[in-house]
Structure 1
Amino acid sequence: MSTIASPAAIRERAPSDAEQRAWRMSAISLMSVRVIQGFIYWGGGSRRFIYAPGKLDPHAAHWMANKFQTAIPGALFGMGHVISFMLHHFYLLYAGVILFSAAELIVGLMLMLGLFTRAAALTSMGFSVVLMLMFGWQGATCIDEWTMAACNLAMGATLMLGGSGAWSIDNVLLKNKPQRARSGWFRWAAGSRALPVSDIGFRNLALAVLAFVVVFNVGTYSYYRGSVVTPFHGGPISPTAHHLTLAAATVLPDGSVRFHVTLDAGTPEAPVHVVEAALLDASGAPVAHWDTETLSKMSKTAFANDYAYNKFGPGPFGLRAAMGAAATITLPASAAHARPIADASTLQLTDVDGRIFRTSLQH
């Protein structure tokens, strides 16, 4: 009479030589994936701690806060608010940058060495998700940040399931204490043995991981660019064309004009240049005008920036700002008015590419 082994019995059954060899070869075949996945994250951390320490220096031009600020316009699921909060709280921001960089360095090294491989791979998946939510919308020529995060998420998922095989520190730890092979936590965290689940359990876990990776990657791709069930589109937040959002524009008693402006779309690789500002009446005719030279000579005191990192300010071609910058700006009183200022109803800014941005004046 035949019997069906229980899942618990299957977990306790020692794998046959053929099964162990098949799993060993599969894990070894992932060596290039594990090493490069580790190098990617180790490289990110080592650049900041060793090769480009200016990224961790709040006084340097390449301080990481500037990079984080560029993510605000297109960050998903409220991540933009989290970044904004951190940018306004320096000690929290600095601790976050150091801890994240250290975690990248450690996890990358663990993957390359094969030390607690599955735990490191799972952590790398978390990195990929966070980076996707923050920077996935960026990429001037293609979805650069999305592509890297999507690939790293799939690589991390594969390593979490497959482990590290024989060529790893996990295997050295197992050889030193063979009884670790019976430790559930060791087999889940390390990678020198197959996961302690039945074939059916492993299949279900693998399918669940696949579903998460596919839904997350394809879903974000569809959101950012379409081309899945909808036509290709430039994304809710354009990674190529700069966009300025104007608000709270008002004419002050002395004739100066105060307004709030946010650079909330475009490539982080190049700043926006506002070359002209004007007040228009209800018919669209100009009432007052500020040309490139006037904007370039504005005092820095005319700019009250929301953040201490990427800022609006005077530049060689008018007003200049890096991605994510936001500020309250006061234009000086215009020396000559084509019409009385009271006739003005709209503030208009024009960038170097001829794009026009408008908002109504508050009276």
Structure 2
Amino acid sequence: MATAYSIEEEQLSPAACFSLLAIVLLGTRFVQGFIFWGGASRRLIYDYQDTAGIDHALKLDFQSAGFVAGKLTHALPGTLWIQAPLEWALQYPDLIVLSVWFWTIAELLVGLFLIFGFVTRLAAFASIGLNVALMLIFGWMGSTCLDEWTMAVSGVAMSGAVYLAGGGRISLDNMVGRTDWAWRNGWANWLLSGPLPTRSARVGGALLAAFAVLFTVGSYNILFGAVVSPLHARVTFHKHHIALSNVVVSSDGGVTLDAYVDAGPDTGAAYIIDVRLIDAEGNAVSHWDGATLAALPDTSIQNLYPYVWASRFRTEKIGISGNTGAKARIVLPAAGSDASQPGRDLVLVLEAINGATWRAAASSGG
């Protein structure tokens, strides 16, 4: 015998609908807020070190190796569309410090406002912006599960949903929204919480959903392919690569070159243990082994970002290392050869400890 089930339809007012939607997304609102709160609090509260009797927040101390802007230099090789402005900004220490503090305060406020539901919609909109910025800078990184890309696209979708729902009853907005000021200003709900015009909510929901879909699929295709092209990384985060340019052989046989670690995991470095200048037949004209490279004076490596926290080239016991994002002009001393003879086709070859090699044609500097 068939059993008939009936579901009683409950007619909800617009205010009740938005309140219910906010309750459904309460966990989402809290999680997104806590992510940003966690990022800010790790710098402002939890990572301190006593130096000469003074507590220093390591991630906010420009003189500390743990200064948070170091992540920017690691991320530069794969940054989308804003690499030039970032490289420019990294030339000015005061601007770097100002930017780090601006980002930290933004994360702190957005995180706390979402957690407690204060100016919820404005905070959610700002959260969308922060996640887009994270994608542009760090989206290509992640050595295991596309970590940064996943965080950014999830954050955009979550923040869009919270923007539409608002804070609901469990929020500070619920108290502010009951004030005469909120009732007199109809636009207040667009910043705080509460019901929105039905048509506006439908259009806004469709637009935010479309943006989330395009942002997710578009960024995935740009960074990793596998949408309209085979799977490939725009900039690989698995293996280091060093781009060589402006290789010039001086009159005394020394070599000057520009080197840039433009790919690879930010958690490690490329280790160069051998450099050779070879002719068209592959014969070594000049040679610098690991011991010679390790003995280079500091003046032979001119890093574009000389800060203690930045990606840099430096000497090691086995040769030279360069972190992802490191960019420098390197001067190799004369190796007692006739490499400077004009008209010779010469190629500079760098060899890493893992056997990888990188090369570029050399020209005579006279």
Output the TM-score relative to the length of structure 2: 0.89
- 2:18/2:166 contact within 8 Å kept: no
- Report Cα offsets for 1:323-351 as digits up to 9, x if no partner: 1111110112215x4x7553561111111
Give the deviation of 1:23 after TM superposition: 2.7
> Structure 1 residue 200: deviation in Å?
3.0
The residue that corresponds to 2:151 in the other structure is 148
Q: Secondary structure at the match of 1:64?
A: coil
Distance 2:39 2:273 in 1: 37
Kindly tell me the number of residue pairs found equivalent between the two proteins.
Answer: 340
Task: Provide the residue aligned with 1:315 in structure 2.
Answer: 316
Q: How many angstroms apart in 2 are the aligned matches of 1:209 and 1:25?
A: 20
User: What's 2:251 paired with?
Assistant: 253
3-state SS, counterpart of residue 153 of structure 1: helix
Counterpart for residue 290 of structure 1: 288
Q: 1:36 aligns with which of 31, 35, 45?
A: 31
**Aligned AA for 2:347?**
T
Secondary structure of 2:239's aligned partner: coil
- Counterpart of 2:79 in structure 1 is 75
Which of these residues, 168, 181, 188, is aligned with residue 190 of structure 2? 188
Return the offset for 1:201.
2.9
Which residue in the other structure is 1:263 paired with? 261
Deviation at 1:179, TM superposition (A): 5.6
- Mapped to 2, the partners of 1:340 and 1:91 lie a distance apart of 44
Counterpart in the other structure of 2:50: none
1:60 aligns with 2:59: no
Corresponding position of 1:3: none
Deviations 1:36-93 (A, max 9, x none): 110000111111111122111011111122111111111112x111111111011111
Conserved in 1, the CA contact under 8 Å of 2:250 and 2:340? no
AA of the residue aligned to 2:97: Y
Q: What is the percentage of aligned positions where both structures have the same residue? A: 36
Check whether the contact 1:302–1:330 (CA below 8 A) recurs between aligned residues: yes
Aligned mates of 1:330, 1:344 — CA distance in 2: 20
Conserved 8 A contact 1:279-1:344: no
Correspondence list, 1:188-337, <5 A: 188-191=190-193, 193-195=194-196, 197=197, 199-233=198-232, 235-308=233-306, 309-335=310-336, 337=337
Distance 1:340 1:81 in 2: 36
Structure 1 counterpart of 2:121, from 108, 118, 121: 118
Aligned counterpart, 1:13: none
Q: Which has the higher helix share?
A: 1
CA contact (8 A) 1:136 1:149 kept: yes
Contact residue 73 and residue 324 of structure 1 kept, 8 A: yes
Letter of the structure 2 residue corresponding to residue 34 of structure 1: R
**Deviation of the 1:154 alpha carbon:** 0.7
1:230 to 1:182, Cα distance in 2 relative to 1, 3 A: farther
Structure 1 residue ranges, 4+ long, deviating more than 6 angstroms after superposition: none
Cα pair 2:14 2:195 within 8 Å, conserved: no
User: Matches of 1:323 and 1:174 in 2, distance apart?
Assistant: 49
Q: Which residue of structure 1 aligns with residue 54 of structure 2?
A: none
Q: CA deviation at 1:354?
A: 1.4
Deviation at residue 20 of structure 1 after TM alignment = 3.4
Distance apart, 1:22 and its partner CA = 3.2
Q: Which structure is richer in relative contact order (CA contacts within 8 A, separation 6 or more)?
A: 2
Structure 1 vs Structure 2 CA RMSD: 1.6
1:93-137 per-position Cα deviation (integer Å, ceiling 9, x unaligned): 110110110110011000000000000000010000011000101
Cα shift readout 1:244-285 (whole Å, capped 9, x = no counterpart):
111111111222111111111111110111111000101222
SS at match of 2:244: strand
CA contact (8 A) 1:305 1:325 kept: yes
